[in-house]
Amino acid sequence: MAIQTRNKKSIAFSMASMSDLVFLLLIFFMLTSTLVSPNAIKLLLPSSSSRTMAKQTVTIYINDKFKYFVNENQVNLASLQDKIDNKIAGQVDASVVLRADKSVPLQYVVNVIDAVNNINQKYGTKHKVILATKPK
């Protein structure tokens, strides 16, 4: 007579704990991604009620200390046009987004517009400058 055991061991793998782990990781990454700031350079943008959305090719920042940044890399005024030209080379109608602090004098904004216009005249392109603002 064979003795049978009451407690049978199952060799099947339970996926319940794996789905809990994936759910917790999903929540963790969703929470941490909202804490990441998209703009590394802190600016107080001017406010506007108009909305213009465009695919940005290159972003130029002018901070409250009147320093230029091309895609978060600091440049001086003499090399600004060359840096923009390198970023939009080979494109005909690129959008240059200008994020200037609201305390920046207008001349600094005009310097960026002049640099893009010089590139347009040099290559016969139609690049445009869009001034970034925050909603009212």
Whether 28 is in a domain gets the answer no
The pTM of this model reads 0.66
Whether 23 is in a domain gets the answer no
- CATH code for the domain in which residue 95 is found: 3.30.420
Whether 110 is in a domain gets the answer yes
Domain residues for 114? 47-135
| Nearby residues of 48 by Cβ (< 8 Å), 6 or more positions away | 133, 134, 135, 136
End-to-end CA distance of the chain: 87
pLDDT tens by residue, 61-105: 999 999 999 998 999 999 999 999 999 998 989 999 999 999 999
What is the torsion angle, in degrees rounded to the nearest 10, for the CA atoms of residue 51, residue 52, residue 54 and residue 60? -90
Distance CA 57, CA 40 (A): 17
What is the domain count for the chain? 1
User: Of the given ranges (45-49, 113-117, 125-129), which has the lowest mean pLDDT?
Assistant: 45-49
